[in-house]
Structure 1
Amino acid sequence: MTFFDEMKTTFKDIPRPEGEISTLEFLEASESLVKLFDLFGSSAFSVVQNDMKGNINKVSTKFLSDPINCNTLQKLILLEIKENGKKVATQGLLWLCRGLQFTANAMRKCIDNKDWELSKCFEKSYSETLTKYHSMLIRPVFKLAMKACPYRKDLFVKLGDDLNKVNEQLEDWVAGLEEIVDVIMKFFESGNYGKGL
């Protein structure tokens, strides 16, 4: 049994009706991703987890308020824009996707650079993804968390006993995550839906 076997939904399993991302399964996959940081065994990562959980809740609240018209992420965004109020879920989704992009980028570095420790993977990913969106007050908090990464070998032991299976599942999981994030971010760019958020 591995960490990935225990996931309710993985990013590669998310249905895509008419090329759109199913909201319910996206939320389930995102909740599973947040649990990855539990394996890091450091309270320093709680800032990352809390940020992601807060954004998951914003999207989930909107979805639960109208599951039929918000059954895909794209419809959820368009509905919130049409309602012409505060775009709480859209903002939450944008920030959640930035966090997912950061995680995908870090884990891709981990896969591609087997001699790198996790702290190096996450520090480089942070500088390439989230740092441009964070204020001078927030950056040191996140940078401290990156330094609190466990040793690579310690994390992989927690991911599962069968290292070959873990590596195979990690590759599939990251590829699925990268694909989903790419679709969502391209949708945000297509209509400039993230403007002002």
Structure 2
Amino acid sequence: MSSFSEGEIFIANIEKKSLECRENDEIVVLKICELCNIIYPIFNKIFGNGFVGDTLKKDLKNSSSQVQRAIEKFPEETKYVSMLYSYNINKYENMEKLKRDLDNGIISFLWMKRTLEFIITFLEKCYITCNETKLSICAQEAYNEVLKKYHGFITSKIVKLCLKLSPTKDILTKKLGFQTHQQASTVLQKCLSITKPLVRDISVTIEKFNCDFEEKI
């Protein structure tokens, strides 16, 4: 029988996949998709089976699938994140045409990155930087920092209302498969030291190509 908790095993898989995403100085797009496919169940653990949990999970799954389909069309030209952007920037006459073609994976990859950034920011606030803060407040702060500016008035109001219904930290800790808050904090701190720089480097590449589009949904 394994001496590791369910939470330790789950987070260890995220760590492993995060490390696999890098090849020297590049980040492999399909490996990011694999990482997302491991992470998305966490949304129902955190937010339950309601609107927020189901929506975030569905968005991440759909975005990942769309990016995978896009990469499979031109696997050599779009293997790395930097290549995905350089290839598509050169392919279209202007940014508007690039954004309108949802089959190229650019918009889906952007939302994939944002969703990963949100969950990383949320977990960091819950277990590392804001230990004494209520979970619902951590969720709202993470939302305000990462996703709010991309949401219209109605979407933002719905999300904020749902975030107020987040469970307590003790309940979340148990749902994540940990015995104590301290155990979760220790395990997550190591994991986030890998995943956070990964997502930050993706953001740098996206910004380099001026593709951090701010259209609201």
Question: What's the offset of the Cα at 1:15?
Answer: 3.6
| Partner residue of 1:79 out of 87, 90, 109 | 87
The letter of the residue matching 2:112 is: L
User: Superposed, which structure 2 residues align to 1:104-123 within 5 Å?
Assistant: 104-110=120-126, 111-123=128-140
State which drifts further: 6-15 or 123-132.
6-15
The letter of the residue matching 2:161 is: L
Distance in 1 separating the partners of 2:109 and 2:208: 15
The structure-2 alpha-carbon separation of the partners of 1:196 and 1:101, relative to structure 1 and needing over 3 Å to count, comes to closer
Q: Are residues 1:181 and 2:203 paired?
A: no
Task: Name 1:90's counterpart in structure 2.
Answer: 106
* Count of residues in correspondence between the two structures: 197
The structure-2 alpha-carbon separation of the partners of 1:148 and 1:196, relative to structure 1 and needing over 3 Å to count, comes to closer
Three-state SS of the structure 2 residue aligned to 1:5 is: helix
- Identity of counterpart residues, as a percentage? 22
Task: Name 2:74's counterpart in structure 1.
Answer: 66
Distance in 2 separating the partners of 1:6 and 1:129: 24
Question: What's the offset of the Cα at 1:179?
Answer: 0.7
Three-state SS of the structure 2 residue aligned to 1:52 is: helix
Distance in 2 separating the partners of 1:159 and 1:105: 16
| Partner residue of 2:116 out of 90, 100, 107 | 100
| Partner residue of 1:42 out of 49, 63, 66 | 49
Q: Are residues 1:172 and 2:190 paired?
A: yes
Q: Are residues 1:5 and 2:21 paired?
A: no
Structure 1 stretches lacking a partner, 5+ long? none
Give CA deviations for 1:81-126 in whole Å, capped at 9, x if unaligned: 2332526411111122122222221111112222222211010111
The structure-2 alpha-carbon separation of the partners of 1:133 and 1:161, relative to structure 1 and needing over 3 Å to count, comes to closer
Question: What's the offset of the Cα at 1:69?
Answer: 2.6
Structure 2 stretches lacking a partner, 5+ long? 93-97
Alpha-carbon contact 1:47-1:142 (below 8 Å) kept: no
TM-score, normalised with respect to structure 1: 0.87
Question: What's the offset of the Cα at 1:161?
Answer: 4.0
**Radius of gyration: which is bigger?**
2
Distance in 2 separating the partners of 1:75 and 1:28: 18
State which drifts further: 92-101 or 6-15.
6-15
TM-score, normalised with respect to structure 2: 0.80
Question: What's the offset of the Cα at 1:174?
Answer: 2.1
Three-state SS of the structure 2 residue aligned to 1:144 is: helix
Q: Are residues 1:192 and 2:210 paired?
A: yes
User: Superposed, which structure 2 residues align to 1:136-151 within 5 Å?
Assistant: 136-151=153-168
Three-state SS of the structure 1 residue aligned to 2:27 is: coil
The structure-2 alpha-carbon separation of the partners of 1:57 and 1:141, relative to structure 1 and needing over 3 Å to count, comes to farther
RMSD of aligned Cα (Å): 2.2
Alpha-carbon contact 1:9-1:25 (below 8 Å) kept: no
